[in-house]
Amino acid sequence: MPSPIADIETLNYYAKKFQRLRVDRAHGVAPHKPILLLSVIESLEKSRITENRIELTDSLNRMFLKNWSYLGSPEHHPDIARPFFHMKSGKFWHLYANPGFEQVLAAKIKLKTLAEVKKAISHTYLDEDLFDFLLDASTREGLLAVLVGRWFPGKLAEVKKILQTDEFQEPPGYFLEAYAMYMDRLNEV
């Protein structure tokens, strides 16, 4: 059994990973990766994810879009495909290829569309330590606070409320357009 000090060091390691997510900054900070992580945390809290296997399901996508409706940015489109693929840059999020697509992932080809991601990736999984921390309510709470403190400062209480609801915020116009386009692409998959 690891020592409590080792656990604290490991937890700090993941807290730093959550603070240092590589995000697109071309049009302001793109909140895709933080919102995806919030959606995974919410899925764990609601027991929609029960094993270390994160699939790009309609349920996860809906949660992502719901969280985006509260925390998203008008400069960016609410697209789960890219952060689902690119989160691997954090070194704690690992892609598992669908049969026949191992070489695509090994070749480091950038998957951009939902159809490409769903075709190539069976699921993702987290480092085992991180998954264990996220299963535990107290360490999950701490990592949530770190994530929100870095990417949505001053909004921890609001984010906790958002994670408890399944309701979308009355979305602004840009979101309705982006959501409609996204749903059209989803139906093509």
Q: Report the percent of the chain where pLDDT is more than 90.
A: 68
User: Helix H segments across 72-136?
Assistant: 81-86, 102-106, 114-120, 128-135
C-alpha of 61 from chain center: 10
Which stretch of DSSP H or E encloses residue 17?
helix 4-19
Amino acid (1-letter code) at residue 68: W
Q: Measured between alpha carbons, how far is 84 from 118 in angstroms, rounded to an integer?
A: 10
Q: Measured between alpha carbons, how far is 111 from 21 in angstroms, rounded to an integer?
A: 19
Confidence band (pLDDT; 50, 70, 90) for 3?
very low
Q: Measured between alpha carbons, how far is 129 from 75 in angstroms, rounded to an integer?
A: 34
Q: Measured between alpha carbons, how far is 86 from 94 in angstroms, rounded to an integer?
A: 10
pLDDT of residue 2: 47
* Rounded-to-10 torsion of CA 107, 183, 53, 127: 60
pLDDT of residue 1: 45
Rounded mean pLDDT, 163-185: 69
Per the CB < 8 A criterion, the answer to whether 37 and 133 are in contact is no
Find the range with the poorest average confidence among 62-66, 78-82, 128-132, 169-173: 169-173
Report the predicted TM-score, pTM, of the whole model to 2 decimal places.
0.87
Neighbouring residues of 170: CB distance < 8 A, sequence distance ≥ 6: none
Confidence band (pLDDT; 50, 70, 90) for 88?
very high
Given a cut of 80, whether residue 173 has pLDDT beyond it is: no
Given a cut of 80, whether residue 6 has pLDDT beyond it is: no
